[in-house]
Structure 1
Amino acid sequence: MRLPATMWRLAANLAAPLLPWHLSRRVGRGKEIGARLHERRGLGTTRPPGRLLWLHAASVGEARSVLPVIEALAAADSALHLLITTGTVTGAETLMRHLPPDLARPDAPRVIHRFLPLDVPRWVGRFLDGWRPDAGALVESELWPNLLEAARQRGLPMALVNARISPRSFARWRRFPATARDILGGFRLVLARTEEDRSRLQALGAVAALSWGDLKAAAPPLPVDQAALDRLRRLLGDRPVFLAASTHPGEEALVLEAHARLALARPDLLTVLVPRHPERGASVADLAARQGLAVARRSDGGAPGAQVAVYVADTLGELGLFYRLASVALVGGSLVPHGGQNPLEAARLGCPILLGPHTANFTEPVARLLQAGGALRVRADAGALAEQVAAVLSDHGRTRAMVAEAALVAEGQAGLPGQVAAALLELMPPAR
């Protein structure tokens, strides 16, 4: 092993005695499930008979993007079992909530979920030896050195799917070129989400990297509870709704200031804040209340009644509901240097889109949306944000044109999940 990988392996082994304490603390913050902490140490393996493909999707975005691939894999091979790991509780909840019922039947599940063990050599070795997958695939950028070394030692065919690497990560990896070649060269299949990602990955050692497209551009529309949608539509009536979706710290203050400016001309405006991490709901609601705004929280059972100016939707898995209700939406993570969330989720649901200046996480779809007129760029400034929201709300012809163009951009690559599934099945050894 190269020096950086050796140092990582040593550090993981030294830290291992302290990690159970760290995991216990995370339980208290809702970041882990107490009854399943053993999975983080590679325990709890119950391998089903027959062929088993392992997919790892770190969190919510990766889990959503890989769901169509899971369905395509199950349809292509009726005897195949799928082990899906996530690194977060929210990723696990997203996955299990949206899996087709026939794949997650309690009596005979074809899809099994476990939490990925932490990157301690003996824990990841125990995980792989217990499950004995026939092939594995990591989604996006989960490059854990000890896990990948354990897979290499066992001769496990591995793929990196929807692979991405930011300019900052690329610069860091270039400082350790031999280590990067060792890690990326161990993948038998690398499918980059964009040409820029493919070029960077190839320069680091993924010599056969391909770019077929972004799975997030091929995802189905976000789901919705139709009864909840009908209730809120009746309650809201004709009220204009300004949605700030998947917001990060620092963005809510700008949105609330923009709301105050907009409300001077539109006193009936409802602003809906959906924090990216629902556990921030209380602090977001408190921020609104301190500004004298009438606020309700969805997690507390609150509703956006006529007197409510700001609705904090601090629940999990309901973004599809609020995109369908919104008159205009700011896609969060873009007013602060986070890189932005997925704008195609809004595009699929007929919602006019505003984007801040920080959209590096979705460079290609953002470029297509802006070029087509399906989204508008806005500065990270409350006055500029209020001005753009007001312009969209007042020009219905422009709004319809934005929605139509965004929908065309979002339609692309519908066949990508099936293409990826076929490539993963080719990694599997022949059935015996």
Structure 2
Amino acid sequence: MRVPVLYRAYVALSMVLVPFVARATVKKLQRADVPTYRAHERLGNATENRANGTLIWFHAASVGESLSVLALMTRMGEQLPSAHFLITSGTATSAALIEARMPPRCVHQFAPLDAPGPLKRFLRHWQPDAAIFVESELWPQMLRRTYASGATMALVNARMSERSIASWAKRPRLAAYLFDVFDLILTQNDAMAEAMVRLQAPAPKVARGQNLKSFAGPLPQDHDLIFEARATLGHRPVWVAASTHAGEEQGILAAHKRLLEQHPDLLLILVPRHPERGDEVLQLISEAGMSYSRRSSGDLPSGEVFLADTLGELGNWYALSDIVFLGGSLLPIGGHNPFEVAQSGATVLSGTHVFNFAETFSAMEAAGAAGLVAGKEDIPAQVNRLLNDTNARAKAIVAAKTFANGENSKLDTIAARLIKALKLT
């Protein structure tokens, strides 16, 4: 296939910009307490040896994308007992969570920048036999240079925003050049499969897959911490508002204030999506006039609001409540993973802005496994209903767990399909 002019221009521009981008990227990781030698993985400098034998490379960007593929890697590892795995991501947060939950025979590295030098060093060292890219991680040079290395390639959990689809549609030759590298493209839904074909992806290689976030498995829990927290709470009722974003906490705190009128001993566990916003959220709690405790200060849940502004402890807070409201859904952000809530044994509430999980929430609603609130004003009524109606709450919890378990059974099929398409047997 002829190389598009836009691709050539992109490569040339990346060669000019890479010194500046590299410096900024390394400094950002250093500020997040990543050792310098590891930050240089972004320049393609490996810090681990390549194991002998088959190596399967997974590349993801965000925390959610990274964690969503760990169960798939585990299942592929069970079907390919001699294979080894490499997973790359771009942030310190994703690295910390991945390294705590990696399956056997797996190493993590920070992803190389999308420029000739870093990619050449990376591919020369790792020599992956197969490469699996997650969701919307479509870096042009990474795709084409991996393809040129001889690796078989797949795109899983594929999704794009409407804006991204429109942008790619204006560049059909470039889209065709990039999507041609894949041996298999598994999308999250039928609409995305159709969009990929319209964007010049080879139709025979495109199919609807499954939202991999449904396979992420229960979040890790610290049972000693949960025991201490329960002892501190006694018989207090608890609800959780998790993965909240700026502009959402005010409505959630207002809802909690109204709920306290009927349930004066009720505790809200408030978990901002980005823990570094802890001071900002604490100010909102203070302005709302409610007593609080704060996890990053070493506190256990107490007061009227417990600010859970730490990383990697969400599973503990889910274990303390039957009712979890998922943020990123009161504003047009797209929603967050309801499967983690369902697998923890809680009922799922969410706002209506859940386009990242549209099919999932639709199916869960139909099964009685999740409930959507009309807006922030509707939160008190929905939470109050679940607090007061023990039977309705228990029924919703069972429905959520049943739904999550049903999705999990499909993972073996996806693993086998990838193994066949990538010629790994």
Q: TM-score under structure 1 normalisation?
A: 0.92
- Show the counterpart of 1:394: 388
1:200 to 195, 201, 214: 195
2:224 to 197, 210, 227: 227
Alignment of 1:29-108 (within 5 A): 29-30=31-32, 33-44=35-46, 46-100=49-103, 103=104
- Using the TM superposition, give the Cα deviation of residue 13 of structure 1 relative to its aligned residue in structure 2, in angstroms: 1.7
- Show the counterpart of 1:132: 127
Moved over 6 A (4+): none
| Structure 1 residues 215-264: Cα deviation after superposition (integer angstroms, max 9, x where no partner) | 22233222211111111112112211121111111111111111112112
- Using the TM superposition, give the Cα deviation of residue 97 of structure 1 relative to its aligned residue in structure 2, in angstroms: 0.9
Counterpart of 2:21 in structure 1: which amino acid?
Answer: L
2:208 to 211, 232, 238: 211
SS in 2 for 1:379: coil
Query: Does the 8 A contact of 1:192 with 1:213 survive in 2?
Result: yes
Distance 2:34 2:186 in 1: 30
- Using the TM superposition, give the Cα deviation of residue 8 of structure 1 relative to its aligned residue in structure 2, in angstroms: 2.6
Distance 2:225 2:256 in 1: 25
SS in 1 for 2:271: strand
- Using the TM superposition, give the Cα deviation of residue 19 of structure 1 relative to its aligned residue in structure 2, in angstroms: 1.8
| Structure 1 residues 110-142: Cα deviation after superposition (integer angstroms, max 9, x where no partner) | 211111011112211221112111111111110
Query: Does the 8 A contact of 1:344 with 1:365 survive in 2?
Result: no
Distance 2:198 2:422 in 1: 27
| Structure 1 residues 362-394: Cα deviation after superposition (integer angstroms, max 9, x where no partner) | 01110011122222211333x322222112211
SS in 2 for 1:39: helix
- Show the counterpart of 1:107: none
Cα 1:26–1:380 change in 2 (3 A) is farther
Query: Does the 8 A contact of 1:125 with 1:147 survive in 2?
Result: no
SS in 1 for 2:319: helix
Alignment of 1:14-25 (within 5 A): 14-25=16-27
Asked whether 1:4 is paired with 2:6, we answer: yes
Further displaced range: 267-276 or 32-41? 32-41
Alignment of 1:216-365 (within 5 A): 216-305=213-302, 308-365=303-360
Further displaced range: 311-320 or 361-370? 311-320
- Using the TM superposition, give the Cα deviation of residue 7 of structure 1 relative to its aligned residue in structure 2, in angstroms: 3.2
SS in 1 for 2:69: helix
Distance 1:430 1:315 in 2: 39
Distance 1:372 1:419 in 2: 23
SS in 1 for 2:332: coil
Cα 1:420–1:125 change in 2 (3 A) is farther
| Structure 1 residues 78-137: Cα deviation after superposition (integer angstroms, max 9, x where no partner) | 22111111122222222221235xx2xxxxxx2111110111122112211121111111
- Using the TM superposition, give the Cα deviation of residue 360 of structure 1 relative to its aligned residue in structure 2, in angstroms: 0.2
| Structure 1 residues 384-418: Cα deviation after superposition (integer angstroms, max 9, x where no partner) | 22222112211222212221222222222324332
Query: Does the 8 A contact of 1:224 with 1:318 survive in 2?
Result: yes
Alignment of 1:138-157 (within 5 A): 138-157=133-152
Query: Does the 8 A contact of 1:33 with 1:89 survive in 2?
Result: no
- Using the TM superposition, give the Cα deviation of residue 32 of structure 1 relative to its aligned residue in structure 2, in angstroms: 5.2
Aligned-pair identity (%): 39
Counterpart of 1:239 in structure 2: which amino acid?
Answer: R
- Using the TM superposition, give the Cα deviation of residue 24 of structure 1 relative to its aligned residue in structure 2, in angstroms: 4.1
- Show the counterpart of 2:365: 370
Q: TM-score under structure 2 normalisation?
A: 0.93
Asked whether 1:408 is paired with 2:422, we answer: no
Query: Does the 8 A contact of 1:296 with 1:311 survive in 2?
Result: yes
Asked whether 1:418 is paired with 2:412, we answer: yes
Cα 1:304–1:189 change in 2 (3 A) is same
- Using the TM superposition, give the Cα deviation of residue 43 of structure 1 relative to its aligned residue in structure 2, in angstroms: 0.8
| Structure 1 residues 304-345: Cα deviation after superposition (integer angstroms, max 9, x where no partner) | 23xx11111111122221112123211111011110001121
- Show the counterpart of 1:177: 172
Query: Does the 8 A contact of 1:215 with 1:416 survive in 2?
Result: no
Counterpart of 2:382 in structure 1: which amino acid?
Answer: Q
Distance 1:31 1:15 in 2: 25
Counterpart of 1:340 in structure 2: which amino acid?
Answer: G
| Structure 1 residues 46-100: Cα deviation after superposition (integer angstroms, max 9, x where no partner) | 3222221111122221222211222122222222111111122222222221235
Distance 1:222 1:143 in 2: 28
Counterpart of 2:46 in structure 1: which amino acid?
Answer: G
Query: Does the 8 A contact of 1:136 with 1:157 survive in 2?
Result: yes
Query: Does the 8 A contact of 1:138 with 1:160 survive in 2?
Result: yes
Counterpart of 2:339 in structure 1: which amino acid?
Answer: L
SS in 1 for 2:41: helix
RMSD: 1.9
Aligned residues: 420
Structure 1: gaps (5+ residues): 104-109
Structure 2: gaps (5+ residues): none
